[in-house]
Amino acid sequence: MTTGPSVSSYVPIEAVPAERLAVSARLADYMELVKPRIAAMVLLTVTVGFTLGSVGAWHMAELVSALVGVALVAAAGGAFNQLIERRTDALMARTANRPLPAGRLTPWEVAGFGCVCALAGLCVLFVEVNATTALLSLVTLALYVLAYTPLKRHSALSTAVGAIPGALPPVLGWTAAGGTLGWEAFSLFAILFLWQFPHFLAIAWLYRQDYAAAGLRMLPGTLPRKGLTGIAASVYAAVLIPVSVMPGQVALAGGSYRVAAVLLGLGYLAAALRFFVSESRETARGLLYVSLVYLPVLLSVLTWDHIRLLS
């Protein structure tokens, strides 16, 4: 008579790792829908907006609620974007292995994920934060999914349209903290709005052949001659310099921030001019790198100087 477990109760050693790998791979696919690098930048700007918009005590619970709600809405935006673009993604080398074009997730799964995230995020914002932030988040989601995403196939104006939802996250943080919509919130929006153009133009130039193959009408592919992408990037970088000083003019920061904003802006402009003088993969990647350094450093200095003035 045997006292140990029966033969049928044994689980093959190989089965457990395989199942875990399958679950991990599926979670990784859903994480890819969220576009984590973009989501991280969104949450950073929400935090900055919340800090600047806080009057008096700074409440961690309110910030966490805002971050959770906005993160869920951002996840929904990423999912719906990839759902709509699944056919064009399949035509581009850099996106062909995304979960939908690669067949690892079905359209219904992605649509369901997006709907659940959107509904949950908007409910969190409405109940735990405030109606203004929930409404602005809904507007952000609608512009990104219903305007920017489909417009990419028809007009280069999609870049300007997409820059609007891209610039709203710090405003969401501002209103989540109880700040009213005024020049302060507009100054944060304007910085993010203009910053995106050199940043995106560098990306679009690097992948212009991919975009053209997929039939997406992005700026570098629609401009009539070489050099105009660099000119456009340089113009936006130049305009960003005086705009970036606006928070200092509306009492969000002081002289230290204004000096830093000008210096950082000149560095961003120099990278854009270098790209204009010699459009190449090296100068485009240089502009992209500078854009990724510029924004977090600028926002960090803005937040530090704001807190310093209040203390």
Q: Which residue would you say has higher pLDDT here, 8 or 36?
A: 36
Burial of 26 (0-12, 13-18, 19+ CB in 10 A): middle
pLDDT digits (tens, 9 = 90+) for 252-290: 888 899 999 999 999 999 999 999 998 889 999 999 999
Predicted local confidence at residue 299, as pLDDT: 95
Predicted local confidence at residue 183, as pLDDT: 93
- The amino acid that residue 116 corresponds to is V
DSSP string, 127-188: III-HHHHHHHHHHHHIIIIIIHHHTTT-TTHHHHHHHHHH-HHHHHHHHTT--SSHHHHHH
Predicted local confidence at residue 69, as pLDDT: 96
For the cut 90, the answer to whether the pLDDT of residue 136 exceeds it is yes
What 3-state class would DSSP assign to 153?
coil
pLDDT digits (tens, 9 = 90+) for 60-77: 889 999 999 999 999 999
Predicted local confidence at residue 111, as pLDDT: 93
- The amino acid that residue 268 corresponds to is Y
Distance in angstroms (rounded) separating the CA atoms of residues 224 and 214: 19
Average pLDDT, the chain: 86
Domain boundaries, given as residue ranges, for the chain: 16-181, 182-311
From 16-20, 101-105, 132-136, 239-243, the region with the lowest mean pLDDT: 16-20
Q: So what's the architecture of 16-181 in CATH?
A: Orthogonal Bundle (1.10)
- pLDDT category of residue 251 using cuts at 50, 70 and 90: confident
- pLDDT category of residue 1 using cuts at 50, 70 and 90: very low
Three-class HEC string of 243-260: HHCHHHHCCCCCHHHHHH
What 3-state class would DSSP assign to 279?
coil
